[in-house]
């Protein structure tokens, strides 16, 4: 990393740290005006990030696949490597959660009539969720931020463009999508420059949520399993993998810290995507053709944190409902958690509702999920950081391997 780029990174990190500090101070101050300003900033940037993230996912996939002929070998290798690494890291995440669950062995919660269980609005069964991926209206998928559906539409469009017979028409369409993609990436650069303001807002909003207090009595061992599983994956497994691939993990973490900060407080991999792409290209010099293809894909299918949550939560709920947890059950749910995480949407509370859907599809009572719900805010923050960190690691490794070939 050149001195100029290193200085910009250090300056960027300081801006983010100052924004976090001011956000905590304002959020805990009890001053209504400061709290409202922070919440207003959070809402503005949340809307902006939602506005730009889905088009970036769509355009990145369309441009990558429509240009497949010109970069056939590279895109094909990148796709194979990213699929293999995302699946492998997700299996690792679920397996670590399983191992820690068997070591810690969380205690059951005694459900009584005195326990207030929050109502849970379920978005439908897991099968209906999968059915919703198949679009019946092009605009509906974008308006509802259904990322998997958008990804499917974009893949179909990108592949179809390759089969246009007229060369001029084909090149015109490809150039059109590349131009629109360029517009959105230019917008992204402007957003990233003022992102500390948005981060300030996210921190204020999070501080106000935590001021309400959390009582983890009876759920401590369950929460411990999830938090330790995510920490082990993010601090031990992924850095060791980067080191094994001869890439300095500390350098990678430092470079990606702005995106990881946004991920922590926004609690959405999709919303963080524009910042992740800009950060990894600018701070780590990753080939844009790789990052703009792999990161949108990873945002949808590479959910390390989600796999750990789904495994631990579903096993814990079943255990509390009297289901015998055997070795076969554990192995089966490692696979189920991996598949469910790959099919999960990278939005706030996506893993929570995925777990609810899985339990409901198996006719497992879910009142315990209402008790878990108040603590999910903390879990979701750590999960999102791990998801974005894992996406970044996969992109770094694939880019390095392709450059070394």
Kindly report, residue by residue over 192-227, the tens digit of the pLDDT.
Answer: 778 788 888 888 887 886 676 545 555 788 889 999
Best mean pLDDT range from 111-115, 162-166, 363-367: 162-166
Query: Where are the domains positioned within the chain?
Result: 3-404
Give the C-alpha separation, 75 to 82, whole Å. Answer: 10
Give tens-digit pLDDT for 45-92.
878 877 877 787 678 778 877 765 555 677 778 888 988 998 899 999
- Which tokens is 396 given? 């770094």
Angle between helices 147-162 and 288-301 (to 10 degrees): 140
Is pLDDT larger for residue 160 or for residue 129?
160
Residue 23: pLDDT band with limits 50, 70, 90: confident
Q: Where are the beta strands (DSSP E) in 62-172?
A: none
Residue 360: its pLDDT value, please?
66
Name residues whose C-beta falls within 8 Å of residue 142's C-beta, 6 or more positions apart in sequence.
54, 55, 58, 150
Q: How confident is the model at residue 400 (pLDDT cuts 50, 70, 90)?
A: very high
Write the CB contacts of 265 (distance below 8 Å, at least 6 apart in sequence).
Answer: 20, 23, 199, 202, 203, 205, 206, 381
Give 106's DSSP letter: P
- What class is the 3-404 domain? mainly alpha
CB 35 within 8 A of CB 26: yes
* CA–CA separation, 368 and 300 (whole Å): 28
With tokens 């009142």, the residue in question is 367
pLDDT band for 250, please (50, 70, 90 cuts): very high
Determine the Cα–Cα distance for residues 37 and 21; give it in Å rounded to an integer. Answer: 15
Q: What does the pLDDT read at residue 45? A: 82
Query: In angstroms, how far is the first alpha carbon of the chain from the final one?
Result: 21
pLDDT band at 5 (very low <50, low <70, confident <90, very high): low
User: C-alpha 249: how far from its chain's center?
Assistant: 20
Please write the tens of the pLDDT for every residue from 226-243: 999 999 999 999 999 999
Choose the weakest-confidence range: 94-108, 139-153, 223-237.
139-153
Gyration radius of the chain's alpha carbons: 21
Residue 212's pLDDT is what? 63
Using a 10 angstrom Cβ sphere, with 0-12 exposed, 13-18 middle and 19 or more buried, the burial of residue 175 is exposed
Contact in structure between 48 and 56 (CB atoms under 8 Å): no
Q: What is the mean pLDDT of the chain?
A: 80
Lowest pLDDT segment from 116-120, 131-135, 304-308: 116-120
């Amino acid at each position: 990393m050149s001195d100029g780029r290193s200085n910009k990174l250090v300056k960027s990190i300081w801006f983010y740290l100052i924004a976090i500090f001011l956000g905590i101070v304002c959020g805990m101050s009890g001053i209504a005006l400061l709290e409202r300003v922070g919440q207003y900033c959070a809402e503005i940037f949340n809307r902006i990030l939602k506005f730009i993230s889905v088009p970036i996912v769509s355009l990145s996939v369309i441009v990558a696949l429509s240009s497949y002929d010109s970069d056939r070998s590279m895109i094909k290798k990148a796709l194979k490597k990213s699929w293999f690494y995302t699946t492998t890291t997700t299996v690792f995440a679920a397996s670590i959660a399983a191992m820690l669950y068997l070591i810690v062995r969380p205690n059951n919660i005694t459900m009584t009539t005195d326990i207030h269980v929050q109502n849970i609005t379920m978005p439908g069964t897991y099968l209906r969720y999968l059915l919703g991926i198949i679009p019946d209206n092009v605009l509906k998928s974008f308006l509802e931020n259904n990322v998997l559906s958008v990804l499917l539409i974009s893949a179909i469009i990108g592949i179809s463009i390759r089969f246009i017979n007229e060369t001029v028409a084909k090149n015109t369409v490809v150039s059109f999508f590349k131009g629109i993609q360029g517009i959105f990436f230019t917008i992204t650069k402007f957003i990233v420059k003022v992102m500390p303001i948005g981060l300030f807002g996210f921190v204020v909003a999070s501080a106000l949520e935590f001021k309400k207090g959390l009582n983890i009595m009876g759920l401590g061992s369950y929460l411990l399993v999830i938090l330790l599983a995510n920490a082990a994956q993010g601090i031990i497994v992924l850095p060791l993998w980067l080191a094994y691939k001869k890439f300095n993990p500390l350098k990678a973490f430092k470079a990606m810290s702005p995106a990881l900060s946004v991920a922590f407080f926004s609690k959405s991999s999709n919303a963080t995507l524009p910042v992740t792409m800009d950060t990894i290209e600018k701070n780590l010099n990753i080939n844009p053709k790789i990052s703009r293809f792999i990161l949108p894909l990873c945002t949808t299918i590479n959910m390390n944190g989600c796999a750990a949550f789904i495994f631990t939560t579903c096993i814990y709920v079943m255990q509390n409902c009297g289901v015998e947890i055997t070795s076969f059950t554990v192995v089966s749910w490692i696979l189920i958690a991996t598949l469910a995480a790959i099919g999960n949407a990278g939005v706030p509370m996506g893993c929570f509702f995925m777990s609810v859907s899985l339990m409901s599809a198996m006719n497992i009572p879910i009142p315990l999920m209402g008790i878990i719900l108040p603590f999910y805010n903390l879990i979701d923050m750590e999960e999102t950081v791990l998801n974005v960190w894992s996406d970044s690691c996969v992109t770094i490794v694939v880019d390095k391997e392709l450059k070394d070939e």
